Amino acid sequence: MKNYNDYINYSKKIYDIHMSMSVLNWDMETHMPNNGNKFRAQQLSTLAKIAYELETNFKYGKLLERLLKDKTLNKDQKRNISLSNKQFIKKQKYSAEFIQKQSTLISKAFKDWRTAKEKNDFNLFRKSLSEIVNLRKEESYLLGFNENPYDALLDIYEPNLTVNDVDSIFDNVKDYLVPFINKINNSNHIDDSFFYQYYDQKKQWDFGIDLLKQMGYNFDSGRQDISAHPFSTHFSPEDARITTRIDENNLSDMIWSCIHEGGHALYEQGVLSENYGTPLGNSISLGIHESQSRLWENHVGRSLAYWKHNFNKLQTYFPNKLKNVNYKMFYHACNNIKSSLIRTNADELTYHLHVLIRYEIEKELIEGNTNVDDLPSKWNKLYKKYLNIDVPSDSLGVLQDIHWSHGSFGYFPTYTIGSFYAAQFYAQASKEITNIDIKMESGDTNELLAWLRKKIHIHGQRYDAKDLCKMITGEELNFKYFMNYAKDKYSKIYNLK
Amino acid sequence: MKNYNDYINYSKKIYDIHMSMSVLNWDMETHMPNNGNKFRAQQLSTLAKIAYELETNFKYGKLLERLLKDKTLNKDQKRNISLSNKQFIKKQKYSAEFIQKQSTLISKAFKDWRTAKEKNDFNLFRKSLSEIVNLRKEESYLLGFNENPYDALLDIYEPNLTVNDVDSIFDNVKDYLVPFINKINNSNHIDDSFFYQYYDQKKQWDFGIDLLKQMGYNFDSGRQDISAHPFSTHFSPEDARITTRIDENNLSDMIWSCIHEGGHALYEQGVLSENYGTPLGNSISLGIHESQSRLWENHVGRSLAYWKHNFNKLQTYFPNKLKNVNYKMFYHACNNIKSSLIRTNADELTYHLHVLIRYEIEKELIEGNTNVDDLPSKWNKLYKKYLNIDVPSDSLGVLQDIHWSHGSFGYFPTYTIGSFYAAQFYAQASKEITNIDIKMESGDTNELLAWLRKKIHIHGQRYDAKDLCKMITGEELNFKYFMNYAKDKYSKIYNLK
């Protein structure tokens, strides 16, 4: 392997394996029969090992080293080499033993978590979780960091994001968002009870497909299936899939999961095929990915203009259930702000308090300032403090999320970062796209999608998240855009002064 | 790598990659969106190369060589090593250039064939086909053979099968089956017109699922989907899937494709999980595989006893369409013997004349006794000779099958071999299972499945096909079982003396 072309071929080969694993994973979550699990896990593990061997191959490292010094490469080529090299160096830091230990531990922890959640007994998860925390501590030292060990973990999901950044964002949340939510809680109550009637599965499905088509999701380069937990995945920009979940007794579950996952998939469909298999053919970070799903879910999909256009169509699917509802009532109902126990059911404002709680706990665990044994009481105290909610059981409390059992620490903050990026991007789009609301009212999101494509999607990892944000909006991530959006929207909905 | 355990792990690793490819292929044929093709083909090619590198790795060969001499291994272990070594030696014979040339050629030939078939113009396929024939000739010399170059190709799909074997089988076909078919053709006509009414897709699907469940197909270890061409595939004994095709204007298409593919899948579900990834965890050959699908499709699924049990259920799905039909009429209709143009639509007797024609052409092509240019006229002459049919166009004639465009030569005979094995196995099962027909009449195929499991499925590749046949039935493959079955069945149906 000598030149840039060799690098491209090698990088594509690695990527092909990862994409194959994504197909196996997609199948596992959507269609695989019950008994398929055991061998599927083994097949995935084999592919993962092969990919890892290629990713950490000494000759590949040498090639990257050589290409780092190659003056003939253009800017994009240099960017690819630089990012691949960063990845290579990172992967090199893990020993085979660490990888093995991690894989065994996670598989055990996942089982323990599931049992613990089923039996509502945190003790059954305590030991595994404690081992995972220790593993992540070990990892943070192995990867290295400047100030806080948790920085090393944040960097895995959101490159260059630090505890300083996240602290300052959540300081804003505490200073501005929390009082605003309190103000809402003290005002009038929104009736969203019509969501909780019987809504036929097939009709819900069809309406979801309508919404996805309207967004510009290309069904020739993707498809939707049903799975226990909605997710998006991709095997190339020309095959970016989503899943949804349909609860026949709750209409809202399907609608905003479709739009959310559709937003993720639009990002993947917008990455350039010609860059497949290289960093420039990859999304930037979890935060930027989440900015796309949240932008569509909240700024588009929970807007008055959107439902002014789409409510009639929804009503034709369910004329009886929705006969006493109009688009304004619908808009209010889908923006009902209310403290709740479960993160994934939370509204777009209180959601960030759920993330804040997890962030505080994770950081303290990794810093060594909290013990796993204290988690349930700590969790419950924080839910009382930030959401004014009493947690009735660990199943509905500290055991509710899958993330820790998967070994994911540093992941949660990207949900909030992504939402705040979404607000900042949407504010900018509203400036640059004339009459965006009027277009939305006629169901026309073409210009918005074109804007996202041009500003974000086509670049892949050409720019770091922070630089991209500056290029698009003229400044780094700034909480005020989210706060302005929230104030503007909810002051009207709740008639606040 | 030093011991048998290393071999097992290495062999499993190779198998995991092939099974992953099967998942990707399954998805491609069932669910993949239109635009997914390009990158999917690339991903499959990457996995194929990785598998090939492992399969031909020098150190793996050394390990096999060492284990061949290992006296401590038991019989099954020796069998695994011996078969893996045979595979290794075979794979070693191909150069990287050959593999590359083959892959390029097949991808071109497939496109040319598709266009040629669409445009009904054999000329568009002539050049590619000629190159493929040359490639297969080259391959036969590269693999080596004793008497006939075509032997080397037969051996790929049906180990140890030779031109001598196949010639002698088709001599029997010509001597006994052809005159018998002529006798049938000169007798009364069967009315099967009720098959060709409108049959609702959903109801057909449900009935197919009923039949599969009754056969003992385990839906916890498999599933059925829709695809353009029905097929079966597997990713482990615990995930063996099938597909079907539903023609709303032809009920028979779905029924016997379900039973046929179900028969294949029962074989895969019956292989032992503990042997996954080794020859003992693999099916023996295409012929034995086909024996399982044909046994269920024809000996079970086209029997009087089977429809005596199942016709009522079918009638409850389609009471109006079938109100003037009874189970005997149904049994006659699904055993209508009639020369036809298209192999895949042929009845269970004339089917073998379609195979005979392809076999004669393939053999002469590989021996160099026929030129690709002469194929259309040769094809048409043989259809006149054996089936007394005038071929109206190349699309419905020499271009009808996909196989040659895929580079498959030596594959067709396994269809016939498989059918004749099926007859011989079923004759033996009927001897060993008391009152098999009465059991069938009550829908009970459990004992038959248990017999097939014990005699065939659980062994994987423990025995060669020929030895297995001798062990089960006391003799090698013998055409008389098929002929007896045919005579007995069709003499009654057609009232022949």
**pLDDT tens string A145-180:** 999 999 999 999 999 999 999 999 999 999 999 999
CB pairs under 8 A between A and B: 115
Q: Which residues pair with A241 in a beta bridge?
A: A233
Secondary structure class of B36 (helix, strand, coil)? helix
Question: Is the pLDDT at B2 greater than 90, yes or no?
Answer: no
Q: What's the pLDDT band for B23 if we cut at 50, 70, 90? A: very high
- Rounded to whole angstroms, how far apart are CA atoms A136 and A122? 20
Question: Is the pLDDT at A1 greater than 90, yes or no?
Answer: no
Q: Is residue A96 classed exposed, middle or buried when 0-12, 13-18 and 19+ CB atoms within 10 A define those classes?
A: exposed
In this structure, the strands spanning A239-244 and B224-226 are: unpaired
What confidence tens digit (pLDDT) does each residue in A65-115 have? 999 999 999 999 999 999 999 999 999 999 888 988 998 899 899 999 999
pLDDT of B366: 97
- Rounded to whole angstroms, how far apart are CA atoms A314 and A306? 12
Prediction ipTM score: 0.94
- Rounded to whole angstroms, how far apart are CA atoms A129 and A402? 12
Residue range B269-294: mean pLDDT, rounded: 98
- Rounded to whole angstroms, how far apart are CA atoms A50 and B49? 12
Q: CB distance B239–A276 less than 8 Å?
A: no
User: What is the value of pTM for the model shown?
Assistant: 0.95
Q: Order of strands, edge to edge, in the sheet holding B224-226?
A: B224-226, B239-244, B232-236
Residue range B418-429: mean pLDDT, rounded: 98
pLDDT of B497: 81
Q: Which two tokens stand for residue A110?
A: 């996942």
B97 is catalytic: no
Domain boundaries B129-497, CATH class = mainly alpha
On chain B, the residues whose CB falls within 8 A of the CB of A43 are: 16, 19-20, 23, 235
Question: Is the pLDDT at B439 greater than 90, yes or no?
Answer: yes
Distance from CA of B236 to the nearest CA of A (A): 7
Q: Left if phi > 0, otherwise alpha if psi is -120 to 50, otherwise beta: which for A21?
A: alpha
Percent of chain B surpassing pLDDT 90: 97
Smallest Cβ–Cβ distance between A27 and the set B17, B23, B35 belongs to B23
Q: Left if phi > 0, otherwise alpha if psi is -120 to 50, otherwise beta: which for A277?
A: left
| Closest chain A residue to the Cα of B39, Cα to Cα | A236
Q: CB distance B47–A23 less than 8 Å?
A: no
CB-based contact, A23 to chain B, within 8 Å:
yes
What confidence tens digit (pLDDT) does each residue in A192-247 have? 999 999 999 999 999 999 999 999 999 999 999 999 999 999 999 999 999 999 99
Question: Is the pLDDT at A119 greater than 90, yes or no?
Answer: yes
Percent of chain A surpassing pLDDT 70: 100
CB-based contact, A144 to chain B, within 8 Å:
no
Q: What's the pLDDT band for A429 if we cut at 50, 70, 90? A: very high
Smallest Cβ–Cβ distance between B33 and the set A27, A31, A222 belongs to A222
**B394 in Cβ contact with B122 (< 8 Å):** yes
pLDDT of B1: 81
CB-based contact, B18 to chain A, within 8 Å:
no
> Which residues of A are marked as active site?
261
What confidence tens digit (pLDDT) does each residue in A451-497 have? 999 999 999 999 999 999 999 999 999 999 999 999 999 999 999 98
Dihedral angle of Cα B90, B93, B96, B101, to the nearest 10 degrees:
-90
- What are the boundaries of each domain within chain A? 4-145, 146-497
pLDDT of A100: 86
Instruction: Name the residue type at position A184.
Output: I
Residue range B324-351: mean pLDDT, rounded: 96
| Architecture of the domain made up of A146-497 | Orthogonal Bundle (1.10)
| Closest chain A residue to the Cα of B41, Cα to Cα | A16
Q: Is residue A228 classed exposed, middle or buried when 0-12, 13-18 and 19+ CB atoms within 10 A define those classes?
A: exposed
Q: CB distance A19–B43 less than 8 Å?
A: yes
What confidence tens digit (pLDDT) does each residue in B31-62 have? 999 999 999 999 999 999 999 999 999 999 99
- Rounded to whole angstroms, how far apart are CA atoms B268 and B278? 14
Average pLDDT taken over every residue of chain B: 96
Q: CB distance B16–A47 less than 8 Å?
A: yes
SS3 content of chain B, % helix, strand, coil (to 5): 70, 5, 30
pLDDT of B456: 98
